[in-house]
Amino acid sequence: MTFQHRTIFITGGSRGIGEAIALKLAAAGANIVIAAKSVEEDPRLGGTIFSVAAAVEKAGGKALPIQVDIRDEAQIQAAVQQAADKFGGIDVLINNASAIQLTNTEQTPAKRFDLMYDINVRGTFLVTQHCIPYLKKGTNPHILTLSPPVNIAPQWLGAHVAYTISKYNMSLLALGWAEELKQYGVAANSLWPATTIATAAVRNLLGGEALINRSRKPEIIADAVSYILSRPSATCTGNNFIDEEVLKAAGITDLEKYAVTPGGKLQADLFL
């Protein structure tokens, strides 16, 4: 399935994994909607909706950068409408935006709890809700949510229960949409990396350069996304995918090129 002229709406697409996905699909001719908050670069994070839009155009795609905070339903509605007006519809939604707080119950402030649930759960739900009318009319329509398989092992619940449950909720939403929308041929799946991914969040919040060096590049996620979205939406639905399993199923078994440190030890990601 070609991506030529298909419109991809990506939340949180101003850097990292979202940017890598945008560039991969842009190179295949897609229209990319970069829906994120960053319009001025934060030196700690890098990237804005405008820098990614420029890179998308350079890669061969068409870009629409939209500043949107997915905690605000009015901004979501306006962004979805703007995307549909610009490109004539929406074919794919990638729920990439997410907030993280790896603290236990006593150390999780209410405002951080609210942030995670407003973005990870409520925001994901509302963006999807407003995209559905266009996805129903889309070409090979997919919803792909960046969230982990639901693993109720006590170690993941006990370590940072608020964050864990917020991410599991995203995966449960994906499974629910797979059932709800199958009558319309709209696929819904989740995707999660087998290892940590070299992003600003990993560097700043999880483990600094030491963890970056045990991580894979965001391009592994982008390549897995491309393979998932290439599959028929009527049959490729209701899955909690892992990136390396997707690539191996596509015949790509040598994953060394994705390692930040080729031949080095890799760090398994959370929830696996």
Note if 163 is an active site residue: yes
Residue 74 CB neighbours (<10 A): 9
Task: In whole angstroms, give the CA distance from residue 29 to residue 41.
Answer: 27
Catalytic residue, chosen from 117, 134, 163, 184, is: 163
**CA atoms lying within 13 Å on the CB side of residue 160:** 17
Residues designated catalytic:
163
